[in-house]
Amino acid sequence: MYYVTKRLEISAAHSLSLDYPSKCTSMHGHNWIVTVYCRAEELNKNGMVTDFTDIKRIVSERLDHQCLNDTLPFNPTAENIARWICDNVENCYRVDVQESEGNTASYER
């Protein structure tokens, strides 16, 4: 099995739709740390699991310096963002989304 990991930092704003009072329902921003994990039993024709540039394009071009409420079709919690990234990156099996020091959500397929 082959593995690659890509770590990116993006800046993005969001507000959460919650069924309880929280300051997170107000628009606010984070410098998110996103770690994408990919694996494959066989390398592609270019000798890669997944091209690091493709991971960066999918994550950064879609999410960096965006209002995530306008960009994503769901409540942009760290958990939902992790799953969206995992679903959109080839050979991805896990994503960690850190929205602040000590607060990380993970999704694993």
Whole-number Cα distances in Å, 14 to 48, 50, 54, 94, 106:
34, 29, 24, 22, 18
pLDDT at position 73 is 96
* Strand 2-14 versus strand 66-67 pairing type: parallel
The one catalytic residue among 24, 67, 79, 90: 24
The one catalytic residue among 9, 28, 65, 108: 65
Query: Whole-model pTM?
Result: 0.94
Sketch the domain layout of the chain as residue ranges: 2-108
**CATH architecture of the region 2-108:** 2-Layer Sandwich (3.30)
Q: Give yes or no: 67 in active site.
A: no
**1: Cβ–Cβ under 8 A, 6 or more apart, which residues?**
39, 40, 41
The one catalytic residue among 14, 38, 86, 99: 99
pLDDT in tens, 5-64: 999 999 999 999 999 999 989 999 999 999 999 999 999 999 999 999 999 999 999 999
Q: Give yes or no: 14 in active site.
A: no
pLDDT in tens, 67-79: 999 999 999 999 9
Task: Output the CA torsion 82→85→87→92 (10° steps).
Answer: -90
pLDDT in tens, 77-91: 999 999 999 999 999
